[in-house]
Amino acid sequence: MKTTKIFFRGFKRNTRLNLLNISSMAIGIAAAIIVLSYVYQEFNYDTQYPNSNRVYRILTKNDKNELSGAATYGPLAQSLKSDFPEINDATRVSFYWGYLALTTGDKKFNETRTIFADSNFFTLFSFPFVSGDASKCLRSPNSIVLSESAARKYFGETDAVGKQIKIGKDKLFTVAGVYKDFSSNSNFRGDIILPLEIMSRITQVWIEPSWNYQSDIHTFVLTENIAAADGLSGKIENYLSGHVQEKPEKLILQALKNIHTEMHTGWESVPQANRSYLILLGMVALAILTMSAVNFLMLYIGMASKDPINTSVKKVCGASKTSLFRDHVGEIFSYILISTTVSLFLVFLYNSVLTTQFSFLPKINNFSSRFLQILSGIILVYTIFTSVLPAIVVSRLKSPEIYKAEKQSLYKQPRILNILVVSQFTIGVVLLAITTLFYKQIHFLKKHNPGFAREELITIPLNMHIGDGFYNENMDVFCEEIKKQAGVKEITFAFSSPSDVQTSADEASCDGMPEGETVQIQWNSVYYDYFETLGIKIAEGRGFNRNFQSDMVDFDSDRKCAYVINQKAAKELGVENPIGKTLYSYQKGVIVGIAEDFNFKSLHSEINPMCFNMNPFYYNEIIVRINPQTTDIFNNIEKVWNDFVPAYPFEFKFVDDQLNQMYEAENNLTASLNAFSGIAILIACMGLLALTILSMQKRTKEIGIRKVNGAKVSEIVVLLNQDYIKWVTIAFIVATPIAFFVIQNWLENFAYQTSISWWIFVVAGIFALLIALLTVSFQSYKAATKNPVEALRYE
């Protein structure tokens, strides 16, 4: 009761300053909760499911101890389960990035990111089910399992068990179950799950059932307990040597929750997070929390130093340091309690309103008990820091004669307040400089020439099985019909377009290389006119040509197909004049041309060795160069499409848009940093404003005397502002090397980087200075123009 009275009495004395104090603290705590919860979510994918801490994925490493990827052998899952008692269960999963054409009634859909899995998929992961039997739903080769969202989309309700869906031209599947949508922090993303055994029947992906070579399947194991995984890692490392004769790779375990942030492999169901980005966001959250704490320290100590009589009277009346400390802690705790309550409301407002209005803002989907424990610990440390330190400082104020107490105030010894202001603006300048550089780097990425003409290109998903569409003899007819349409310049087919980072990789060797030496090369299956359509120049030799029928891959004969490699591959192979030489990989072929290098992945990566062949079995997309200004061009292309494959829906995307989406993570990070930098600057300004108000109140008499002695308003304003200019300048000097270090480390994520320009730091410093001056100048001008008579009567 006594603490409450003390709090309200103090609050009433300085209502405006206390409201500023509570607001800045609430905003800081809310921002920290939002960012830290997002970072926690990213580091804890799939932990919400039972037994998730016992699930591991098998990865492979080559003989150089380099990560090869997540692709494994078909028999591996069952073999591991049989040979190791530590493994309770094992399952295989394949994430299909191609397109499937689905039909329900008279509605057609193009679906991507379909999951193919073994029948024990749902029981091993314990994914929650809405209807159907999780243990049996994938046993039939004609069964299909849908997410709740997909069931509503296809049938208008979640009660879809027993209903039928057509895939492709005539393949009917019966809905055997409906599962709850995968959470946003799950490594699995897909609305359709089909039995793995039928994948090769309805897609172009071949699942090899033997140990001959790896397939695009991920193997997951469920261990007996958490401790079993440690011993299992050593046992399975060389397991493949007993099954694979040629260059057996090593096996390693990867915890399910670490898939999203560690050991990036590609071909994931969900794009993996950049660990350094998450650490940076976490640091920003702690910086904002620190700034709000610094604000509180400045204002509380400042208000106490403005009115030291209260503390002095208590001391004269016999109050001990302990009782004074207890009173101040109780008062401060009341501030923190109110601020935390307001911050929780702000978090609710952010999650329910702001995230729907601004797509770049991450939504907080759940607060796990573990995260709440961590958050409570952080807030406890925050509470102790913001309550104990100022309470100690204020309770130790000396108590001379009451009427001389003002001379002993902290204002006469402002070093601690100066340090706090400098620390705030240091954080602000660092965030401003980082955000400016991030914008500069993203602009550089979007404007960088990838080595091909990215404008006026569209891709059309080739959503059909090889036996259903216009492959082989109909492909040229289709291309000719498309090229007849006004505005169409070129057309080709490919496994993946330049905007699709998913490519296959394999070891390859060439005539003239030392025996046993290989080079890892990325593969892309393309069609005639591929290089012409993309505007890629052939540096040596030729591209694929219809006059050479042997250019096409033919698995039914032993003849060599044609290969075109890029300049990087030619360099890595190290063979002089590679044109005409045989390249050995999964298919023997003759190198007929060398294409100029181009970026077929994002600019995070350097250009890798690349090889192109013509294998229609692997075509996933049609690439068309168009004049988008031509009237009805898309309608005309769709008409031709419907003439050839009326059973399949028509869609298209612009390559330029897809390329920009490669940097969605950077765009979101920059936008988030921009928002939170704004919050940090706002908190700094609120603290500076409150401190300025306190300062003006304490210097009222001084200002009056200066005016009576002839000082001009401009001179007084400069006098009052010069300290703040000095503080921001010091903050700029301290912040510059910190910002440079963070920026330099972030740019290491990119193979292609913008320059770290000197003006980035200058702009950040000037901007911080302008904000500081705008914040304090109004109060300075107000104090400088006050009637000197009133000023001299002050106090």
Please check whether residues 111 and 201 belong to one and the same domain: yes
User: Terminus-to-terminus CA distance in the chain, angstroms?
Assistant: 32
Query: Residues with Cβ < 8 Å from 427, sequence gap 6 or more?
Result: 287, 290, 291, 680, 684, 735
Please check whether residues 94 and 127 belong to one and the same domain: yes
* ∠ Cα 313 314 316 (to 5°): 65
Please check whether residues 578 and 630 belong to one and the same domain: yes
Chain centroid to CA 110: 26
Residue 363 within a domain: yes
Identify whether the C-beta of residue 144 lies closer than 8 Å to the C-beta of residue 179.
no
In the structure encoding, which two tokens stand for residue 674, read together? 């921009």
Rounded distance between C-alpha atoms, residue 190 and residue 112, angstroms: 8
Rounded distance between C-alpha atoms, residue 641 and residue 657, angstroms: 23
Helix or strand (DSSP H, E) at 291: helix 275-306
Query: Residues with Cβ < 8 Å from 459, sequence gap 6 or more?
Result: 497, 499, 621, 622, 623, 624, 652, 653, 655, 658
Helix or strand (DSSP H, E) at 145: strand 143-147
Please check whether residues 622 and 499 belong to one and the same domain: yes
* ∠ Cα 259 265 266 (to 5°): 105
Identify whether the C-beta of residue 44 lies closer than 8 Å to the C-beta of residue 323.
no
User: How many C-beta neighbours within 10 Å does residue 87 have?
Assistant: 21
Residue 232 within a domain: no
Q: What is the largest CA-CA distance in the chain?
A: 106
pLDDT of residue 325: 67
pLDDT of residue 371: 72
Please check whether residues 320 and 433 belong to one and the same domain: no
Please check whether residues 210 and 357 belong to one and the same domain: no
pLDDT of residue 465: 63
Rounded distance between C-alpha atoms, residue 354 and residue 361, angstroms: 8
In the structure encoding, which two tokens stand for residue 53, read together? 């801490």
Please check whether residues 422 and 503 belong to one and the same domain: no
Helix (H, G, I), strand (E, B), or coil: what is residue 117? strand
pLDDT of residue 409: 43
- Supply the range of the domain harboring residue 298: 1-45+276-413
Please check whether residues 664 and 582 belong to one and the same domain: no
Please check whether residues 297 and 386 belong to one and the same domain: yes
Q: What is the DSSP string of 77-104?
A: HHHHHHH-TTEEEEEEEEEEEEEEEEEE
Q: DSSP letter at 249?
A: P
Please check whether residues 501 and 394 belong to one and the same domain: no
| Helices and strands in the chain: count of H runs, count of E runs | 23, 22
Residues 119, 121, 122, 123, CA torsion sign:
positive
Beta sheet of 621-626, edge-to-edge order: 488-494, 621-626, 457-461, 653-654
Q: Which of 655, 682, 715 lies at the terminal end of a domain, its last residue?
A: 655
Rounded distance between C-alpha atoms, residue 432 and residue 438, angstroms: 10
The label of the residue with tokens 């070891």 reads 507
Distances (CA, A) of 265 to 55, 185, 405, 454, 659: 18, 18, 68, 26, 20
Please check whether residues 636 and 579 belong to one and the same domain: yes
Residue 783 within a domain: yes
Helix or strand (DSSP H, E) at 611: strand 610-613
Q: Which of 616, 636, 655 lies at the terminal end of a domain, its last residue?
A: 655
Helix (H, G, I), strand (E, B), or coil: what is residue 596? coil
| Paired sense of beta strands 610-613 and 519-525, if any | parallel
Q: What is the DSSP string of 522-573?
A: EEEEB-TTHHHHHT--EEEE----TT-GGGB--TTS---EEEEEEHHHHHHH
Identify whether the C-beta of residue 578 lies closer than 8 Å to the C-beta of residue 562.
no
pLDDT of residue 408: 43
pLDDT of residue 105: 84
Helix (H, G, I), strand (E, B), or coil: what is residue 10? helix
Rounded distance between C-alpha atoms, residue 317 and residue 246, angstroms: 90
pLDDT under 70: residue ranges of the chain: 1-14, 64-65, 247, 266-267, 302-325, 328, 366-369, 387-417, 465-473, 499-504, 555-557, 697, 787-795
pLDDT of residue 366: 65
Report the amino acid identity of residue 486.
Answer: A
Identify whether the C-beta of residue 430 lies closer than 8 Å to the C-beta of residue 284.
no
Rounded distance between C-alpha atoms, residue 354 and residue 86, angstroms: 47
In the structure encoding, which two tokens stand for residue 108, read together? 């057609």
pLDDT of residue 407: 45
Report the amino acid identity of residue 296.
Answer: F
Residue 383 within a domain: yes
Count up the domains in the chain and report the number. 4
pLDDT of residue 638: 92
128-178 tens-digit pLDDT: 889 988 888 999 999 999 999 999 999 988 888 999 999 887 789 999 999
> 668-689: string of b/e by CB count within 10 Å (b at 16+)?
ebbbbbbbbbebbbbbbbbbbb
Residue 243 within a domain: no
Return the closest-CA partner of residue 443 out of 201, 753, 133, 689.
Answer: 753
Please check whether residues 286 and 353 belong to one and the same domain: yes
Residue 258 within a domain: no
Residue 237 within a domain: no
pLDDT of residue 401: 41
Q: Which of 205, 226, 247 lies at the terminal end of a domain, its last residue?
A: 226
In the structure encoding, which two tokens stand for residue 224, read together? 């007996």
Identify whether the C-beta of residue 268 lies closer than 8 Å to the C-beta of residue 259.
yes
Distances (CA, A) of 210 to 77, 240, 244, 450: 12, 13, 10, 40
Q: DSSP letter at 354?
A: I
In the structure encoding, which two tokens stand for residue 724, read together? 């703040």
Residue 9 within a domain: yes
Rounded distance between C-alpha atoms, residue 405 and residue 529, angstroms: 88
Q: What's phi and psi for 588, nearest 5 deg?
A: -70, 140
